[in-house]
Amino acid sequence: MKIAYLINQYPKVSHSFIRREIIALESLGVTIKRFSVRKIGDELVDDEDKEELLKTRFILELGIKGLLFYLLRVILFQPLNFIKALILTFKIGYRSERGVMVNLIYLVEACVLSFWLKQEQIRHIHAHFGTNSTTVAMLTSLLGNISYSFTIHGPEEFDKPDAIALSEKIKRATFVVTISNYGKSQVYRWCEYQDWQKVHVIHCGLDEKFIQAEITPIPSENNLVCVGRLCPQKGQLLLLDAIARLKQKGIICQLTLVGDGELRQEIEKLAEKLHIKSQINITGWASSEEVKMKINEAKLMVIPSFAEGLPVVIMESFALGRPVISTYVAGIPELVVENESGWLCFAGDVESLTEKLEKALSLSPEKLNQIGIISKKKVKYNHDIEIEAKKLKNLFEIVVTN
């Protein structure tokens, strides 16, 4: 069985969960051909991502001449399919936030991909994220008479379903994957009742490096870690405010922010303004091993997000036996259970976040270790990539054999 995977940017630092899924499927005997719209190799730090880079084919690397070559080829040899795809492009482009012209570019990208898939004799394509990558997959399916499916992560897909033609994509897909029950409920909102049967929950998963990792003793120091892109939706600015409030109460914390992004300078300025600059360390992008090390050095993982799908880093923290403080957002409460595997606060509420931090930090390392053991069992049961990949393989087999 041969399946094409399409992602807008792959490999990417924040997409380790896709890499794990692909590798797990390959271990089950599925041949995966990787395709990406664009290349983003400069910021890769993980050796596994660098290996994936060599296995991936990039559409936009062809340049304008190459793209036009494939466009003309499709127009000449598949005119009826091209007309169908063109009509659909105008239909979805008219209502999209990016307009018809950008969607016409997606059509050109689909012309390239449809030819590549024909060369590889691939009859099914799976896209990650319901945004432009799924637009290209949907148009490719029309051009090449093949089937497609896609995984919705959120929150972007749920923020602008009409603008990305989510209902149209669900209607035309053979099946749709969501990573949480919350995500499933949101997909139900944007599709016909008869299409509900297409929607399946398959969790993002962890590989053996995390699942089999031993739990190290929780340190007595008040070390906190927050892993993720430095951007507004992740809530790092609110976390700095909470740490400053704890300092006023005489509770001194050291926070390590693992990641990088557009908010870095603003975070550094706010830390200085709040007089907690010495308590904040920003590592930049890190490899999987470096992330593991930073989590193991911490007493707690804190993810104060305003919008999410279901953060893989919470699973990673649980696998390493570290409790998590996060927010009542999207699928997070399906993973973080209050007073059992961590604590939840109200998104955007600094008082709630400060209260939960103070409560967790007052517990002994022994008590936190007990919570960590419960957390590890939970993630091992629900987020083992081998188990989740088998579910996905079963769906692919149904599509391919029909």
The whole-model pTM stands at: 0.93
Does one domain contain both 227 and 305? yes
Task: Kindly give, in sequence order, each residue whose CB lies less than 8 Å from that of residue 248, ignoring residues fewer than 6 positions away.
Answer: none
CB 139 within 8 A of CB 89: yes
Predicted pLDDT at 18: 97
Does one domain contain both 176 and 240? no
Number of domains in the chain: 2
Does one domain contain both 49 and 195? yes
Those residues of the chain that have pLDDT short of 50 are: none
Predicted pLDDT at 141: 98
Does one domain contain both 102 and 157? yes
Does one domain contain both 262 and 219? yes
Predicted pLDDT at 273: 97
Does one domain contain both 158 and 198? yes
CA distances from 150 to 136, 146, 153 (A): 11, 14, 10
Does one domain contain both 214 and 199? no
Distance of CA 236 to the CA centre of its chain: 18
Quote the domain boundaries for residue 47: 2-205+384-401
Task: Kindly give, in sequence order, each residue whose CB lies less than 8 Å from that of residue 24, ignoring residues fewer than 6 positions away.
Answer: 205, 207, 385, 386, 388, 389
Does one domain contain both 287 and 397? no
Q: What is the CA radius of gyration of the chain?
A: 22
The pLDDT tens digits of the residues spanning 122-157 come to: 999 999 999 999 999 999 999 999 999 999 998 989
Strand partners, 125: 4, 148
Predicted pLDDT at 42: 63
